Chains A and B, each alone.
Chain A
């Protein structure tokens, strides 16, 4: 299994001990990326959320009971299960920054990528997007809206990176050498507890790189070999154990 490497590797470290499951990241993402509200949201696995907060439980009764909340954006895998399966190259991992692209005007809507992704990070537009009550006036101008019948997913707010690069160029700086914090995702910005840290995993000066190399940082389903760019940090052993599948006699890595 080969992993594509880039000079800049945008990544995220999410501290699960800081996340309260408030869902601000989900709301911010929806607003930023023009996700249309669903008329009937009763079926939670037919609702569009590029980032979803899962509730984890240690399964123990009170007083040992404990919960954790896990926000799950697209993991921007280094070896993405979704890219190689797409029959029309509507998703790719070939751009500096290591963000897995999603070219919705090319997507034919076969949903094979959704079957391939074990993180359920991909969503399908089951119906035409409708913005009730003039909500279309609040759309983010930098993000294309998607028609029904195509798959979409978190892009690490790629348009924000474009904007940050544009700004650097205008100011006469190197767009490939942005300062930490110049480009962050909307979920990072919205988290009230600072549970999400975003930056360049290849830049040792970035906080995210330090967090990712911590012994408390694990990645989701690491043993499948997707080599993801999202790290989860927790000091609770039971939380780390739920980030991957372990046989009974196996110890949590790290």
Chain B
């Protein structure tokens, strides 16, 4: 039997019945992404070798681009736990068509966030102290616990997908491991949902408990400030559409249909519903902050904003343009099923959540609390951008390899059948 030389050299590794671009084209793409990663690795090396002095962080902005990025990707990566919850626990069956992608994105977001934290923490070798000398009163301890445990869950969820690779799956033991992990998946989805809910919440709680920072200080329920709940709901209100945006980006890059419109629309509807719940609470929270927290701290609403960089436009954008507008689009069937509007809404939704994480991280620190102190401005430098680009490049590499070699999209074959025949 002669070889078919028109197929890519690595075609034996492709998912069953799927076609992929040539290995040369793929290598060029990986080379481009690899170049970005190399730049990021250089930045990471400098940070680890010389210390955080090479970044644009300072004693006012102990948190900056990296923490904003971490919080944003962790929120947007929430598609993984929430879709897992809906698919495996609540049995919303159609979501099986996108669940693999949500797991991969979740894995990338969480492992990427951990990579950033290795750089951001001044003494990364002491990171295990979070377990050894744990302060149970700190929201950050809860974050450390949940984020590390949840990354393990995500790895367990990702492993069966890797083992289902066409060639690996021919090995009986790997096939059985993958099968058995699938059988246990509802359990991991449940654990994942629990862990993820708590650390999304504790990330929000981290800010809400800061009684020395009226910009982020919130009252709450029992030990949890309102930001605890707001961060959870906002994550599930944006994570699903972020997954859809990634799927669509992959479709544009590969020229293939990967996920049916019905599934995308369903994800949009789920995100829209959660966004609505979030907005109700967010408006109530903002009102309570403005009329209660601020006056009792001796501050006016206007004192929380400064020029354009920390202006009110950020708040209004977050609430209206990136809140109400995408919510209305995602919840109105006619608007949701117009692709241009749908994707715009998804982008706005993700942008709104990113603004929220940004202002809670950076604006909170920029604002002077002592009356004689002044607003400070933070701008990340090349080392911070470089390390962030490293994580994005790392994500692109994982996603590209997964798409090329793993059966990520169950609908791919059927959706592209007409096209290829």
Chain A residues engaging chain B, CB cutoff 8 angstroms: 1, 43, 45-47, 54-57, 70, 81, 84-90, 106-112, 114-120, 122-128, 147-151, 220-221, 223-226, 241-247, 250
Contacts and interface: CB of A to CB of B under 8 A. Distances in A.
Contacts of B369: 118, 221, 224, 245
The 5 closest A-B pairs by CB, nearest first: A109-B122, A149-B122, A111-B62, A245-B298, A118-B212
Contacts of A57: 372
B121 A224 contact: no
B51 A120 contact: no
Contacts of A110: 120-122, 140
Contact of A126 (B53, B123, B214): B53
Contacts, number: 171
Interface string B279-298: 00000000000000001111
Contacts of A85: 138-140, 206, 209-210
A107 B370 CA distance: 26
B121 A112 contact: no
Contacts of A45: 58-60, 376
A88 B123 CA distance: 12
B51 A128 contact: yes
Nearest to A119: B370
Contacts of A89: 133-135
A3 B124 CA distance: 33
Interface of B: 50-53, 57-60, 62-63, 120-124, 126-127, 129-130, 132-135, 137-141, 143-144, 206, 209-214, 295-300, 303, 364-365, 369-373, 376
A81 B364 CA distance: 15
Given A81-B211, A87-B135, A108 B127 contact: yes
Contacts of B376: 45
Contact of A46 (B58, B129, B144, B364): B58
A54 B213 contact: no
B123 A117 contact: no
Given A85-B138, A116-B213, A109 B121 contact: yes
A148 B51 CA distance: 7
Nearest to A77: B212
Contact of B370 (A109, A220, A247): A220
Contacts of B134: 87-89
5 contacts: A81-B212, A85-B209, A87-B140, A108-B130, A119-B370
A106 B371 contact: no
Contact of B123 (A46, A87, A108, A115): A108
Given A149-B123, A245-B298, A115 B59 contact: no
Chain B interface mostly helix, strand, loop or mixed?
Answer: loop
Given A54-B370, A85-B139, A120-B60, 5 more contacts: A46-B58, A88-B129, A107-B122, A116-B213, A124-B122
The CB with the most chain B CB atoms within 10 A, among A107, A117, A118, A241, is that of: A118
Counting chain A CB atoms within 10 Å of each CB, the highest count among B63, B295, B371, B373 belongs to B371
Report which residue of A81, A87, A122 has the largest number of chain B beta carbons within 10 angstroms of its beta carbon: A87
B212 A126 contact: no
B126 A106 contact: yes
A180 to B, nearest CB: 30
A116 B139 CA distance: 12
A147 B126 CA distance: 13
A6 B375 CA distance: 36
A221 B372 CA distance: 11
B50 A106 contact: no
B144 A127 contact: no
A120 to B, nearest CB: 7
Given A84-B209, A114-B62, A246-B298, A221 B370 contact: yes
Contacts of A250: 298
B372 A242 contact: yes
Nearest to A111: B62
Contact of B300 (A43, A116, A247): A247
Contacts of B364: 115
Given A108-B130, A109-B122, A224 B373 contact: no
Contacts of B122: 107-111, 124-125, 148-151
Contacts of A147: 123
Contact of B373 (A1, A87, A120, A125): A120
A86 B123 CA distance: 14
B210 A81 contact: yes
A125 B59 CA distance: 9
Contacts of B60: 45, 120
A149 B348 CA distance: 37
Contacts of A221: 212, 369-370
